[in-house]
Chains A and B, each alone.
Chain A
């Protein structure tokens, strides 16, 4: 079986196991993205980590994307890699503003800092994270800079005379 057939084979198996929770599976330029219902993220991640045909034992990154004005507003993407199987999968879920995303720190401890970064930059709260605080910016910073409605030069205050006025 070729690599691509094999990949399709295990992906259809994944789809069968979580038929209700997996909304879509896409392969774009060789990158597989699985769009998952938010409540099922932890189950799918656990399955991907433990199932012998996936064995996604390595968490590459956790990131958020702001799709304003879409509703739900944010995409949260968990990038996974399998060191034994040498394959990559991205698990994607959609999170509305004010909602929380599930934290995968219980599955991969390395999700700690990337989730803090996503919170710092987008304000996406990760439920179950042991210590969700800002990582780059000071604790008293206002706003989330990578949101699309945050001005490029920041907001005007006594330290930032070139920023935009807050309405």
Chain B
């Protein structure tokens, strides 16, 4: 507390600079915040990022187009299928190919499942940062169900590399369908449980309601996107406004907040989990039979078992692995509504097998720059709440 009158001089405190992180349990990864403090009040906050910078864009320039897919897994590692999707959509845009119907439905399911996994871990980590340990354990339990589905789908739990340019790697079989149906059946009641614990919880409300208010004008001008932007009442969801894959055929609601505080950002994510389940359910019902890859052997190699029996398939496979495929010259940008916001991939192609320049528009990176503008005047403990409500992931933020 600062007292201006001279009689209480003893109460005045010196300005303190606090370094939070880069190794701190509640900094959601390797984030370093330089916080100016007057007592417990924050006077300035400067995020220092880059501790996880791996030069992903430089790596991309030196890889074949199909070799880069596993690197996208490591961006937002909480929901790798979304990252795969943004990348393959950009390459497909340059190639001017459209994937088969069945592949589109499978891709939507994979993207929505990864959104559920991402939001669950986001809310779980947020709650544990504010002292509610049990939510994290429940959220991890439910996320396990989602990861099990991915394991049945593609054999991997975290880093899927499930999507490929021209389709998906494996078919969506009966086992996956049953597991998805089980998730759709079980999860709504579990989300209700979280809401019983959190939404009416007095500590949760006091820590989040009215904290970290972001007005819609500031949110738009700072480039905020995803749940954090919608919590400020801005109705913008790329799935609705620029539908990709089959989102224009699916019925789902866009969750909007009113106040733009931490609590609204929490509620938007809760609603989005439920809406994602709705989307998964509709995709299960509407998924047609048919191929899961485009029929262009240069872009999608034949199934491995055929490679051993057929000369042409062997040649196609060899050429794909050793040389990759050429992509026409041009520039294209494709973006999706990832769990954290607008995830975009911009590719400059010079007509060769490798991208000339690849730029990733990472939502965590753009969202995090709002933090310094929002926390001034709040208590130090509220910085943690605001940071968790923006839900940055540093694989993506630092690239």
Contact = CB atoms under 8 A, between A and B. Distances in A.
Do A and B come from the same complex?
yes
Interface of A: 28-29, 31, 33, 57-61, 63, 65-66, 77, 79, 83, 86, 88, 90, 108-114, 117, 121, 135-138, 145-146, 150, 152
Interface string B79-123: 000000000000001101000000000000000000000000000
Contacts of B332: 28-29, 31
Interface of B: 49-50, 53, 55, 57-58, 62, 93-94, 96, 218, 220-224, 234, 236, 241-242, 330-333, 335, 342, 344, 346, 348, 356-357, 359, 361, 365-366, 368-369, 398-399
Nearest to B55: A145
B57 A146 contact: yes
Q: Does more than half of chain A's interface fall in helix, strand or loop, or is it mixed?
A: mixed
A77 B344 CA distance: 14
A29 B93 contact: yes
Given A61-B359, A83-B234, A110-B366, A28 B330 contact: yes
Contacts of B222: 109-110
Residue of A33, A57, A83, A110 contacting most chain B CB atoms (<10 Å) = A110
B333 A152 contact: no
Nearest to B94: A29
B357 A65 contact: yes
A60 B342 contact: yes
A39 B336 CA distance: 33
Given A83-B236, A145-B55, A112 B369 contact: yes
A86 B333 contact: no
22 contacts: A28-B331, A29-B93, A31-B331, A31-B332, A60-B361, A61-B344, A61-B346, A61-B361, A63-B359, A109-B222, A110-B221, A112-B369, A113-B365, A113-B366, A113-B369, A114-B223, A135-B50, A136-B398, A138-B50, A145-B55, A145-B58, A146-B57
B333 A66 contact: no
A45 B221 CA distance: 14
A60 B336 CA distance: 12
Contacts of B242: 86
Contact of A60 (B53, B223, B348, B399): B223
Contacts of B49: 135-136
Given A137-B53, A145-B58, 17 more contacts: A57-B220, A58-B220, A58-B223, A60-B223, A61-B359, A63-B346, A66-B357, A79-B346, A79-B361, A83-B236, A90-B333, A108-B221, A110-B223, A111-B223, A113-B366, A135-B50, A136-B53
A57 B96 CA distance: 29
Q: Does more than half of chain B's interface fall in helix, strand or loop, or is it mixed?
A: mixed
A137 B93 CA distance: 32
Nearest to A110: B223
Given A61-B359, A90-B333, A29 B96 contact: yes
B365 A146 contact: no
Contacts, number: 86
Contacts of B348: 65
Contacts of A152: 58, 62
A109 B218 CA distance: 9
Contacts of B333: 31, 79, 88, 90
B331 A110 contact: no
Nearest to B222: A110
B386 to A, nearest CB: 17
Contacts of A83: 220, 234, 236
Contacts of A90: 333
Residue of A58, A77, A109, A152 contacting most chain B CB atoms (<10 Å) = A58
B272 to A, nearest CB: 19
A60 B220 contact: no
A161 to B, nearest CB: 18
Nearest to A86: B241
B341 to A, nearest CB: 11
Nearest to A77: B346
Given A79-B346, A83-B234, A146-B58, A29 B53 contact: no
Contacts of B369: 110, 112-113
Contacts of A150: 58
Contact of A136 (B50, B335, B342, B368): B50
A138 B315 CA distance: 47
Nearest to B52: A136
A140 to B, nearest CB: 13
B64 to A, nearest CB: 15
* 8 pairs of A and B residues whose beta carbons are closest in the complex: A110-B223, A136-B50, A136-B53, A110-B222, A113-B369, A61-B361, A63-B359, A65-B357
Nearest to A88: B333
Residue of A28, A90, A137 contacting most chain B CB atoms (<10 Å) = A28
Nearest to A116: B369
